[in-house]
Structure 1
Amino acid sequence: MRISTSMMFERSQNAMQSRQSDLSKVGEQVASGKRIVSPSDDPRAASQALIVKQDQAVQEQYKDSRITATNTLSLQENTLNSVSDLLVSAKGLIVKGGNGTYTDSDRASVATELEGLYNQMLGLANTRDSNGQYMFAGSQGDVKPFETADNGLVEPYAGDARPLNVQVDASRSMDVNAAGSNVFRVPATKAGDDESDLFKVFETAIATLRTPQTAENQDELRATLDQANRKIDSGSDNVLSVRSGIGSKLNELDVLSDIGDTRTISNKVALSDLEDLDYAEAISRYTLGQIGLEASQKMFMQTQQTSLFSLIR
């Protein structure tokens, strides 16, 4: 095969450009700290890295959902803890109001204290979360669950009991809302008292304490207060049950968060193995590339000077 001067020039030029391209690519890798600057560098590793990044993005979404769920449930748990303390105080007042030595004035004073607790409980039942949504309205966060009628009594629950589910992991959807109709419910007692709600129990107890006591009605009034105490106990047990359920969910979220953190670390390690650059190896290649480029440049210069005219003396 006859090799012309132009062919030698072209080959030398191509070799020099190839060396420059290789050196430039290594420079990009060193600058970015990544072995894969473009998918063509390692198509298989680039494909695997994309899968890991997609999973990492999904894990971040689950992490955000768990944080939201934890904040919501923690606020519910704290609020219900206040409700439990309030019910303990209410029971003590009702017992005190049933003291046979109390005058009507004494009992009215107790009723006023109990009414204060009643209003506090109403405020807790209408608590809003950080987003301004009513916490105990079920799935209708923009609806005030417990309104007060013109006569001062609490109207029936205005929310709903539909669950509000949050996807906190790939295989776990968690209900993070609470229906006030369940939270403030008073289950039927073993003594045969019908199911009710805490607001009605308070209202009955307050009205009873404000009723003047006579020889004819004192037994009836005492029986009504005894019934109110039983219902307070039943309502307290129900609130405790709801709090227990919330506590279980919070514990589960802690476990899921630990699992999610472990998976995030695994993904970061996998990405590092796939993408991160071995600087020592890259610098070695860069040095060899510089030597190769210098050699190809010298060869190109020599090729330029090679012609028949250079042989004529």
Structure 2
Amino acid sequence: MRISTLSIYGNATAQLNTLQSALARTQMQLSTERRILTPADDPVASARALEVSQSKEMNAQFATNRASARSSLTAVEGALQNAGDLLQDIQLLAVNAGNGSMQPQDRQALAIEMEGRLQDLLGVANTTDGAGGYLFSGYMATTQPFTRTPGGAVYQGDQGQRQLQVGASRKIPLSASGAAVFENNPTGNGSFQTQAAKNNTGGAIISSGSVTDRALANAGRDYKLSFSVTGTPAVTTYSVVDTTDGTEAAVPGQTGIPYEAGKSISFGGLSFDIKGEPADGDIFTAKPSEKQSVFTTVTDLIAALRGPAEGAGGKALLTNKLNTALDNLQAAHDNVLTVQASVGAHMKELDYLDSAGDDLDIQYAATLGDLQDLDMVKAISDFSMQQSTLQAAQMSFKTMSGLSLFNYL
């Protein structure tokens, strides 16, 4: 068989190029420390590596989201802590206002101080997140949540909670609705509220009471307790009417129950006591708890401190208003603590999610390493072998290409 010179050179060049390409590829693998340089190197592993890489990037984004969520929740927690401290101060002022030795000017001074606390509380409710948004306005982040009114404050946000994805299947609230924190506070003892009529002239003071039968207490009935003082010596009696349907509530058919100061009065699943001496025609009510804004509670308390409190009737009226305000303030404070506990639970959950995210990141890195990382020992061995093979091929070609019949003539 005769082999042309062109064929010899062509085959040799192709072989040298193949060896050179293999050497360059191994050298590239060594420089990048990657086994897969293009998807064609290992299509299955490349596809799997792409999926794992995307999951790893999503995990990194979740970590960034968790950091952002923690920052927002820290701001909310700080605002709630301030709100709780202010409510405690207001409660202390209300307790001090009940001191019987206080003069009108003393109560006026307390009212002025309480007005300042109210403004501070309103400022806390309108706290911003540092980026132009309000913490307690729900989804309406750019709308100031509360505006002062003569009766307290009006809420202008909504009931929503802004959320952020912090895990593959978990979203965390970044804020709290101002209505849930400052507006939806139960009045009275949480089940029902007792109140004295504004026109009472006697010195009777009603307690907050308690529930003795939950089923009856939750029936949603309104009751009116009316006092009557007749005869000589004076005999004080009372009657209880269910104003929902106009029936007697305490003892059916009995309208004049003897009154004993401090003795428990029970009906309709409710129990409370009245102390002091009521006047003829004095009225007390018991009705289901309602939702009331803390700003309304504080505004009513300030008005009570600025009102007259002369004589037994005036002092009793003030005491009843203070007791009502203290019950409502305690409920508002408990509500703030509940929301604060919820925020703390979310922040604790972020810590767990961070730990789980770190573990996932390690797993993803290990999986990518198994799919993509190069066996350095094998690659260096292959590189040395390929380099020797290329050098041998080059020397062989040089020697062979130098052969000529003219050298033997």
Give SS of 2:120's match: helix
1:210 to 303, 306, 313: 306
Matched, 1:251 2:348: yes
Matched, 1:306 2:403: yes
Trace 1:1-313 onto structure 2 (pairs within 5 A): 2-149=2-149, 154-185=152-183, 186-190=185-189, 191-192=192-193, 194-215=290-311, 216-311=313-408, 313=409
Can you list the C-alpha shifts for 1:125-164, whole angstroms capped at 9, x where unaligned?
0111132210000011100001124x5x643100000232
Shift of 1:203: 0.8
Instruction: Tell me how far apart the structure 2 counterparts of residues 76 and 298 of structure 1 sit (CA, whole Å).
Output: 77
Can you list the C-alpha shifts for 1:43-95, whole angstroms capped at 9, x where unaligned?
22222211110111111222222222222122212211121122111111001
Letter in 2 for 1:189: G
Letter in 1 for 2:399: Q
Contact 1:12 1:299 in 2 (8 A): no
Can you list the C-alpha shifts for 1:178-210, whole angstroms capped at 9, x where unaligned?
110110132132351542111111111112112
Contact 2:152 2:298 in 1 (8 A): no
* Greater per-residue helix proportion: 1
Can you list the C-alpha shifts for 1:10-60, whole angstroms capped at 9, x where unaligned?
222111111111111111122222222222222222222111101111112
**Structure 2 length-normalised TM:** 0.72
Can you list the C-alpha shifts for 1:257-280, whole angstroms capped at 9, x where unaligned?
211111111111111222222322
More RCO (CA 8 Å, sep 6+):
1
Give SS of 1:161's match: coil
Contact 2:90 2:114 in 1 (8 A): yes
Contact 2:153 2:295 in 1 (8 A): no
Contact 1:84 1:240 in 2 (8 A): yes
Give SS of 1:233's match: helix
Instruction: Tell me how far apart the structure 1 counterparts of residues 296 and 309 of structure 2 sit (CA, whole Å).
Output: 21
Instruction: Tell me how far apart the structure 2 counterparts of residues 154 and 295 of structure 1 sit (CA, whole Å).
Output: 95
Instruction: Tell me how far apart the structure 1 counterparts of residues 389 and 147 of structure 2 sit (CA, whole Å).
Output: 83
Structure 1 gap ranges (5+)? none
Letter in 2 for 1:256: L
Letter in 2 for 1:273: D
> What is the aligned-residue RMSD (CA, Å)?
1.8
Instruction: Tell me how far apart the structure 1 counterparts of residues 152 and 331 of structure 2 sit (CA, whole Å).
Output: 20
Contact 1:122 1:146 in 2 (8 A): yes
* Greater per-residue strand proportion: 2
Contact 2:148 2:154 in 1 (8 A): no
Structure 2 gap ranges (5+)? 194-288
Shift of 1:306: 2.9
Shift of 1:2: 4.4
Q: Decide which structure has the larger Cα Rg and report it.
A: 2
Give SS of 1:155's match: strand
Give SS of 1:173's match: strand
Letter in 1 for 2:139: S
Comparing 215-224 and 302-311, the one that deviates more: 302-311
The number of equivalent residue pairs is: 310
Instruction: Tell me how far apart the structure 2 counterparts of residues 250 and 143 of structure 1 sit (CA, whole Å).
Output: 26
Instruction: Tell me how far apart the structure 2 counterparts of residues 217 and 195 of structure 1 sit (CA, whole Å).
Output: 27
**Structure 1 length-normalised TM:** 0.93
Q: From the superposition, tell whether residues 46 and 146 of structure 1 become closer, same or farther in structure 2 (CA, over 3 Å).
A: same
Give SS of 1:148's match: strand
